[in-house]
Amino acid sequence: MDESGASSPENIIIFDTTLRDGEQSPGAALNIDEKLEIARTLQEMGVDILEAGFPISSPGDFRAVQRISEEIRNCTICGLTRANRKDIEVAAEALKDAARPRIHTGLGVSDVHIKYKLRTTREGALEMGVDAVRYAKRFVEDVQYYTEDAGRADPEYLYRVLEAVIAAGATVVNIPDTTGYSSPEEFGGLIRGILDNVPNIDKAVVSVHCHNDLGMATANTLAGVRNGARQVEVTVNGIGERAGNTSLEEVVMAIRTRSDLFGLTTRIDTRRIYPVSRLVSELTGIPVQPNKAIVGANAFAHSSGIHQDGVLKERTTYEIINPRDVGVPDSEIVLSARSGRAGLRHRLAELGYTLDQEQFEKVYGRFLTVADKKKTVDTRDLEAIIADEVQVFFEETYHLEHVQISCGDHSIPTATVRIRGPNGKVACDADHGTGPVDAVYRAINRVIGEPNELIEFSVQAVTEGIDAVGRVTIRIQAEEPVKENGWERRVFSGRGSDMDIVVASAKAYMFALNRLVAARREAQQGEGN
């Protein structure tokens, strides 16, 4: 309870199995260093328990569990075993340096597993499970027991197994829907039944572990939580055997976004969700589907005109999560044939173009023609459209009259520029840099003095051959004052062509700077009105 007497929301324990069940995804093999890197980021993100591997399965897995146990101090480190002594001894050895070790042992509880996989009887399987827990307790205090294929088991038998393994010392009981067979109602009911029918269930934490074969892993996990489970077993991006496991990001963000419904919390720093998702995708080589909830490329992208218009007026019209809360820098307005004027106007403003109505309509007409031919219209397409349709939309405040560069393998790149400014005043200055382009940009900055950051620079050959014309496209970013809201970052693009790419770079920079200066002047005039 807090000072006001209100009780704080109960915590849901996050058990991450990206490095064990996740790594069982076809083709996802990770080496030890990669596993360690993922383990570090999971620790920073606030994961409570990290299932680091299945130590007996290979020397590599054993070593990974050992290294993670040595290094990761703020998570419980868990190693998987089958219900036999050899597996348990090897896991205990791999976990011996962990600050908080946990052995995760168990075996099947459905008749199909008992009969065909384990080739034993219900009683035989129950005895093996109890023996395994007792044996694991010789090495560690914290023993988690999994009842494989619980989703298809006879609940009465499951209750008996759980009662027996808890009596033998299991601290956590894991209820897996191994084959992703259950529906949310059934799975929630199963967890409720366990809490109501297993007499000693208060001595253990109930964990849920769902697979996604019917696309219901997250729904089943949350149904489990609604019915009393307090640990959830998840993987980053939902990777795992076959159709995968419950995804960490979906469960964590559902609990957070719908705190009104769940009344629960987790220790996860949600701003790390997107970077961790990228890391896992890169290291496993498993791409994230674009429409994946929370971390897919389209999760915060708005494509239709109606949605773009709504989101630009008020983000929450179509977004239930602020992208920044999951570490995604911003929502995205995707320009396509379905986009409307609001989306296009917004993107043009982001790029620093302020067009009058007539110019805008011309650009919009041409944009629709391009959009009909291409799936999406990107920045470069827009710049080409503008270059063709409208000449210059801003007054050129500064004009580059002359640029001279000196560089070579034994000299410091140095540039001298002469720039004609407002009222025809000419200024000359020079500077050196890490390369010729850097030297030119520094020299220009000395004359114009408009703070900004170069965020993109690309060179393209427009024509072929040794005398090719090079086209440089750049984007700079600057803080701009906005009425009421203080400051906002705006991006200004610029392009320049020349046979000398350093001169082309200088022209592109002048282009972007003039646009920045024009926007600032316009903002000041707006304030004066």
- Residues that bind Zn ion in the complex, under the rule CB under 5 A: 21
Tell me which of Zn ion, ligand KIV, none is bound by residue 23, counting a contact when its beta carbon lies within the kind-specific cut-off of 5 to 8 angstroms: none
Which residue, 176 or 413, has its beta carbon nearer to ligand KIV?
176
Distance between CA 309 and CA 315 in Å, rounded? 10
Distance between CA 332 and CA 301 in Å, rounded? 4
Least separation, in Å, of the C-beta of 233 and ligand KIV? 7
Tell me which of Zn ion, ligand KIV, none is bound by residue 475, counting a contact when its beta carbon lies within the kind-specific cut-off of 5 to 8 angstroms: none
Q: Which of 223, 217, 285 is nearest to 248 (CA)?
A: 217
Tell me which of Zn ion, ligand KIV, none is bound by residue 87, counting a contact when its beta carbon lies within the kind-specific cut-off of 5 to 8 angstroms: none
Tell me which of Zn ion, ligand KIV, none is bound by residue 302, counting a contact when its beta carbon lies within the kind-specific cut-off of 5 to 8 angstroms: none
Least separation, in Å, of the C-beta of 151 and ligand KIV? 9
Q: Is 496 helix (H, G, I), strand (E, B) or coil?
A: strand
Which residue, 21 or 87, has its beta carbon nearer to ligand KIV?
21
Least separation, in Å, of the C-beta of 132 and ligand KIV? 13
Which residue, 114 or 150, has its beta carbon nearer to Zn ion?
150
Tell me which of Zn ion, ligand KIV, none is bound by residue 284, counting a contact when its beta carbon lies within the kind-specific cut-off of 5 to 8 angstroms: none
Residues with Cβ < 8 Å from 373, sequence gap 6 or more? none
Tell me which of Zn ion, ligand KIV, none is bound by residue 148, counting a contact when its beta carbon lies within the kind-specific cut-off of 5 to 8 angstroms: ligand KIV
Residues with Cβ < 8 Å from 525, sequence gap 6 or more? none
Least separation, in Å, of the C-beta of 2 and Zn ion? 37
Which residue, 244 or 343, has its beta carbon nearer to Zn ion?
244
Least separation, in Å, of the C-beta of 109 and ligand KIV? 10
Tell me which of ligand KIV, Zn ion, none is bound by residue 146, counting a contact when its beta carbon lies within the kind-specific cut-off of 5 to 8 angstroms: ligand KIV
Which residue, 179 or 452, has its beta carbon nearer to ligand KIV?
179
Least separation, in Å, of the C-beta of 292 and ligand KIV? 21
Least separation, in Å, of the C-beta of 35 and Zn ion? 18
Least separation, in Å, of the C-beta of 509 and Zn ion? 54
Least separation, in Å, of the C-beta of 264 and ligand KIV? 23
**Which secondary structure element, helix H or strand E, spans residue 144, and what is its range?**
strand 142-148
Which residue, 17 or 331, has its beta carbon nearer to ligand KIV?
17
Long-range contacts of the stretch 488-493 (C-beta < 8 A, 24+): 490/349, 490/350, 490/352, 490/516, 490/519, 491/350, 491/351, 491/352, 491/455, 492/351, 492/352, 492/452, 492/516, 492/519, 493/351, 493/352, 493/379, 493/383
Compute the half-sphere exposure of residue 521: CA atoms within 13 Å on the CB side of its CA: 12
Tell me which of ligand KIV, Zn ion, none is bound by residue 43, counting a contact when its beta carbon lies within the kind-specific cut-off of 5 to 8 angstroms: none
Q: Which single residue is written with the structure tokens 């965020």?
A: 455
Q: Is the distance from CB of 53 to CB of 19 less than 8 angstroms?
A: yes
* Diameter of the chain measured on Cα atoms: 96
Tell me which of ligand KIV, Zn ion, none is bound by residue 174, counting a contact when its beta carbon lies within the kind-specific cut-off of 5 to 8 angstroms: ligand KIV
Distance between CA 370 and CA 376 in Å, rounded? 9
- Sort 25 into a burial class: Cβ within 10 Å, 0-12 / 13-18 / 19+: buried
Pairing of strands 332-333, 172-177: unpaired
- Token pair listed for 107: 């075996």
Least separation, in Å, of the C-beta of 62 and ligand KIV? 17
Q: Is the distance from CB of 23 to CB of 53 less than 8 angstroms?
A: yes
Q: Is the distance from CB of 175 to CB of 207 less than 8 angstroms?
A: yes
Least separation, in Å, of the C-beta of 170 and ligand KIV? 13
Which residue, 148 or 249, has its beta carbon nearer to ligand KIV?
148
Which residue, 209 or 442, has its beta carbon nearer to ligand KIV?
209
Which residue, 213 or 498, has its beta carbon nearer to ligand KIV?
213
Residue nearest to Zn ion (CB): 21
Q: Which single residue is written with the structure tokens 């609001």?
A: 342
Q: In what order do the strands lie in the sheet with 399-408?
A: 399-408, 411-420, 426-432
Which residue, 286 or 510, has its beta carbon nearer to Zn ion?
286
Tell me which of Zn ion, ligand KIV, none is bound by residue 169, counting a contact when its beta carbon lies within the kind-specific cut-off of 5 to 8 angstroms: none
Distance between CA 310 and CA 302 in Å, rounded? 10
Which residue, 240 or 343, has its beta carbon nearer to ligand KIV?
240
What string of H, E and C letters represents the secondary structure of 32-93? Answer: HHHHHHHHHHHHHHCCCEEEEECHHHCHHHHHHHHHHHHHCCCCEEEEECCCCHHHHHHHHH
Residues with Cβ < 8 Å from 292, sequence gap 6 or more? 237, 238, 247, 299
Least separation, in Å, of the C-beta of 174 and ligand KIV? 6
Tell me which of Zn ion, ligand KIV, none is bound by residue 34, counting a contact when its beta carbon lies within the kind-specific cut-off of 5 to 8 angstroms: none
Which residue, 21 or 61, has its beta carbon nearer to ligand KIV?
21
Per CB under 6 A, residues contacting ligand KIV are: 21, 146, 148, 174, 176, 178, 209, 211
